[in-house]
Structure 1
Amino acid sequence: MFGNFSRRSLLGGIGAAAMAAGLAACGGETSTGSSSSASGSAAGGAGVELTYMFRGGEDERKAYDQAIAAFEKQTGAKVKVIVTDADQYRTKLQAAITGNQVPDVFYLEQGSVMAFAKNGIVKNITPDIEAAGLDIDRVWKYGVDSYRFDGDQVGQGDIYGLPKDVGPFSFGYNKTMLEAAGIPLPDKDKPYTWAEFREVAKQLTKDEQWGTGLNVVWNLQAWVWSNGADWADEERRTVTVDTPEFAEALQDFADIQLVDKSTPSVEQAQTMDTYQRWMRGQIGFFPVGPWDVSTYRELDFEWDLIPWPVGKTGETATWLGSLGISVSNKTKHPELATQLAMFLSADEETQRSLYKAGVQIPNLVDMAEGEYLDDELAPANKEEFVQIARDYGRALPAAETWSPEWYDDFWIDIQQVLDGKVTAADWLAQMQPRMQQKLDQANMAAGR
């Protein structure tokens, strides 16, 4: 699901954030192959072969193999699956587009919706959805709206894709570690304040054990938004990182290492990153996405979900990602290709197999709020995932702009703040005009 991205320590290498707007799927080994042979009755697809470009981990691939086999059986079609890992997906898709070999059905990142729709790469599937009688209201509104575009803004208008998933980025804690330290377990309904969280993290830090280890690229959003700040205004026209609220959030985040020493140092992170240390039970608090669950179920310690710590607004905040499943405008089989997209996004049995595999929450709201929560598999507090999807998760800042470059630029030199070489306020004042120039360019390219 929403991202087998590199999880480095707060002070570790800050890789390019170009994939930030489309985090929703796990990475897997690069390979190409086809699914099992079609059998059973045909439903308009006998003898047809569709290509489906996919990125995902082993557990996710197994679940999708089952779904595709069911689609083949129902339609009589064959589906050739082209698999790539997450890091190479964008490059390989662009090569396919350039070479006029666009797959019939493929993953569409949130940040690419505007460009792909305007350039005629993806098909407007609104009429097909209506003709098929798909109850779109059963699917997470955020997921559907992420792939709407009205010619000017993402989020409204026609539908150019359906959600492969929605990816609530939650916060986890090592229950075993807290109990061993004699620290009261956090309340799943009442978030820590920043001060409370930092105090608990300090108490947990000793020897080869740390309170936390948060990658700034994927975790700073919770601090910024909860403190009443953002990267840009609501219309994504003005960069707003140079505010006191933003500076306070970034400085507090940096001080977890600079002042508290509650996360591994740069040198320690080079030996083993914080994701690996979390997996070994050496980290107290760490982010958790639904795509992590299949792996985390095998951990040697107990863990669960809680809300992110809160800033001055008193409200927890985090991001909600997604990947879309789109149909090529050049497919020779538009009706069948759209059927595949709808089947993978909204078929009940497909969604059931995916959540049971521990790779995502159901796309169907009634399933997510019903049987998914009743399922006894970890995590115990699955309600946190659902609350993020339903109530307060928000898109990453570049998800609705023509280009993510203005947002990516933010992360390039942020290490200076994390190393204490410059204050958050001074650094942000330098970054605002640089980012504004690139956001202006993105808006000009989009004709806004």
Structure 2
Amino acid sequence: MRPLARRVAAAATALALLLTGCSSTDDGRDADGTIRLRFQSLAWQKESVDANKQLVREWNAAHPDVQVEYVQGSWDNVHDQLLTSFEGGEAPDIIHDASDDLADFAYGGYLTDLRPLLPERLKADIPEQSWRTTTFDGGIYGVPFLQEPRVLIANTELLKASGARIPTPERPWSWAEFREVSKALTEKGRYGVAWPLKEPVSVTLNLGLSGGGQLFHRDPDGKAELRFEAGDQVVTGTIRDQVNSDRSAARTALGMGGSDTLPGFFGGRYAMVPLGFAYRQQIVEQAPEGFAWTVLPAPAGPGGQAQGVSPQTLSVAEDSPYKKEAVAFIDFLLRPPNMVRLARGDWMLPTGTTALAHPSLHTAEHGWATGTALAKHLRPAPAQTVRGYPEWKDKVATPALQEYYSGAIDTAELRKRLVDDGNRVLARYQR
């Protein structure tokens, strides 16, 4: 809450209390001294919502003097909703979001720098590469706690019948080998792969690291700049060739979201679908009885098995009067046993090394072990700390990549639009 808004709100609250005959302390606690915090969660899958609500109940039972209210948010509109709440002085104390959404809020002064508040246990348990996803200008503005590698979900029967080598986290396919397997799996009425690229940017950037690409770079002055180099063409070129040259990837899937591809996958129209790790839950719930599927690691390239990720995060609003208590709740929520509960509820991987070692995350069932083996290869998404990234993504990169993958423009035009048009966008944010 900005200073003027805070004074106005405080005056209004005091007047209301006088009119109703209630009493309150000067710092906004209840009359009996109870502190109340609002925790906005973006959990949406039933298991995840249940896990979050249960942990809130456990905290409240153990901390009668600091009570947490669970507030349900939505991934669909979280950025605009948070911006409105920040500007209106109504932001929740504890904020669930994703690291690639934090930069503008952090630079705008809406989030608390957590460095002096974080417990040593929590700082030590989460690897430095994860902390880099929430570090802006030297400050830490969120605690990264869940992450999601991209994997290949394959029809087990079709994969075995093709005679292809089954990849493992130790010996993944190369991008060239993946392209050949996709062709081998393609026949009349069936595509080897379906790329759901309705939102193509994060897929392209994050998998692009395995090709040795980066796209976003820093000049000697620390300013972000875009360059489309040889490594950036590995993944983009593979996808384009699969759709337009090999005809091994379904063109219609380019406009789909991940969930949209599942009926075709179950029906045998697609032999493989590259998806986020959490989609396994939908597959478990929706797959026809007897349908056999397997989780395979994403292909590797010159950059090895590196993948970019934007972990889910927990932040504290700068306007919260109870920052210390809010961080104590975050610390409770992310104790290793609780982090495991949250990860399993969301079908994702915890960032904490202790939680990641839990036996339940290393079972073959539903591909847990494959995903967990990929955790060491996860890196901060290339555009993690770049101001202006949302505008570049929406106005420049999304339409350019959609046209490129469909075959409407060539590599030279893609480079021109991503780099030339993109750098003009970034320049406005770095004056």
Where on the TM-score scale, by shorter chain, does this alignment land: which range?
Answer: 0.7 to 0.9
Secondary structure in 1 aligned to 2:81?
helix
Which amino acid in structure 2 is aligned with residue 175 of structure 1?
A: T
Residue matched to 2:79: 90
Deviation (angstroms), 1:280: 4.8
For 2:281 and 2:183, the matched residues in 1 are separated by: 29
Whether the 8 Å contact between 1:293 and 1:358 is mirrored in structure 2 is no
| Pairing partner for 2:299 from 296, 309, 317 | 309
Residues 344-386 of structure 1: CA deviation (Å, up to 9, x unaligned): 2x21331222233352223320231342444454215x2x433
For 1:222 and 1:276, the matched residues in 2 are separated by: 26
Secondary structure in 1 aligned to 2:430?
helix
CA RMSD of aligned residues (A): 2.9
Deviation (angstroms), 1:65: 1.1
Deviation (angstroms), 1:430: 4.0
Residue matched to 1:148: 135
Residue matched to 1:201: 182
Matches within 5 A, 1:241-320: 241=228, 243-247=229-233, 249-266=235-252, 273-278=260-265, 280=267, 282-298=269-285, 299-300=287-288, 301-311=291-301, 313=302, 315-320=304-309
Whether the 8 Å contact between 1:174 and 1:285 is mirrored in structure 2 is yes
For 1:431 and 1:335, the matched residues in 2 are separated by: 43
For 1:248 and 1:180, the matched residues in 2 are separated by: 28
For 1:431 and 1:112, the matched residues in 2 are separated by: 20
| Pairing partner for 1:219 from 193, 203, 208 | 203
Matches within 5 A, 1:403-422: 403-404=388-389, 405-408=391-394, 409-422=396-409
Distance 1:208 1:387, change over 3 A: same
| Pairing partner for 1:238 from 216, 225, 229 | 225
Deviation (angstroms), 1:421: 2.7
Q: Does 1:395 align with 2:380?
A: yes
Deviation (angstroms), 1:432: 1.6
Whether the 8 Å contact between 1:354 and 1:361 is mirrored in structure 2 is no
Distance 1:223 1:371, change over 3 A: closer
Q: Which moved more, 1:417-426 or 1:273-282?
A: 273-282
Secondary structure in 1 aligned to 2:121?
coil
For 1:69 and 1:292, the matched residues in 2 are separated by: 28
| Pairing partner for 2:61 from 73, 89, 99 | 73
Whether the 8 Å contact between 2:208 and 2:214 is mirrored in structure 1 is yes
Residue matched to 1:52: 39
Deviation (angstroms), 1:334: 2.2
Deviation (angstroms), 1:182: 4.4
Secondary structure in 2 aligned to 1:226?
helix
Which amino acid in structure 1 is aligned with residue 295 of structure 2?
A: L
Residue matched to 1:31: none
Distance 1:282 1:236, change over 3 A: farther
Whether the 8 Å contact between 2:206 and 2:309 is mirrored in structure 1 is no
Distance 1:71 1:394, change over 3 A: same
Secondary structure in 2 aligned to 1:273?
helix
For 1:113 and 1:358, the matched residues in 2 are separated by: 21
Q: Which moved more, 1:429-438 or 1:61-70?
A: 429-438
Matches within 5 A, 1:110-121: 110-121=99-110
Residues 230-269 of structure 1: CA deviation (Å, up to 9, x unaligned): 212255622112x344345423321101011122233896
In structure 1, runs of 5+ residues without a counterpart are 1-44
For 2:254 and 2:143, the matched residues in 1 are separated by: 42
Whether the 8 Å contact between 1:167 and 1:322 is mirrored in structure 2 is yes
Residue matched to 1:354: 342
Whose helix proportion is higher, 1 or 2? Answer: 2
Whether the 8 Å contact between 1:227 and 1:249 is mirrored in structure 2 is yes
Deviation (angstroms), 1:275: 4.1
Whether the 8 Å contact between 1:113 and 1:160 is mirrored in structure 2 is yes
For 2:378 and 2:126, the matched residues in 1 are separated by: 16
For 2:350 and 2:206, the matched residues in 1 are separated by: 23
Distance 1:266 1:331, change over 3 A: same
Residue matched to 1:186: 167
Deviation (angstroms), 1:51: 1.0
For 1:354 and 1:229, the matched residues in 2 are separated by: 32
Whether the 8 Å contact between 1:224 and 1:245 is mirrored in structure 2 is yes
Q: Which moved more, 1:89-98 or 1:191-200?
A: 191-200
Residue matched to 1:427: 414
Which amino acid in structure 2 is aligned with residue 417 of structure 1?
A: Y
Whether the 8 Å contact between 2:96 and 2:313 is mirrored in structure 1 is yes
| Pairing partner for 1:123 from 85, 95, 112 | 112
Deviation (angstroms), 1:222: 5.6
For 1:297 and 1:341, the matched residues in 2 are separated by: 30
Q: Normalization by structure 2: what TM-score?
A: 0.80
Secondary structure in 1 aligned to 2:144?
strand
Distance 1:209 1:74, change over 3 A: farther
Residue matched to 1:331: 320
Distance 1:68 1:282, change over 3 A: farther
For 2:56 and 2:266, the matched residues in 1 are separated by: 32
Deviation (angstroms), 1:204: 1.7
For 1:108 and 1:358, the matched residues in 2 are separated by: 14
Distance 1:97 1:204, change over 3 A: same
Q: Percent identity?
A: 20
In structure 2, runs of 5+ residues without a counterpart are 1-31
Distance 1:366 1:115, change over 3 A: same
Whether the 8 Å contact between 1:46 and 1:75 is mirrored in structure 2 is no
Q: Normalization by structure 1: what TM-score?
A: 0.77
Residues 292-347 of structure 1: CA deviation (Å, up to 9, x unaligned): 23333343433333332234x26233222212111112213222211122222x21
Which amino acid in structure 1 is aligned with residue 381 of structure 2?
A: L
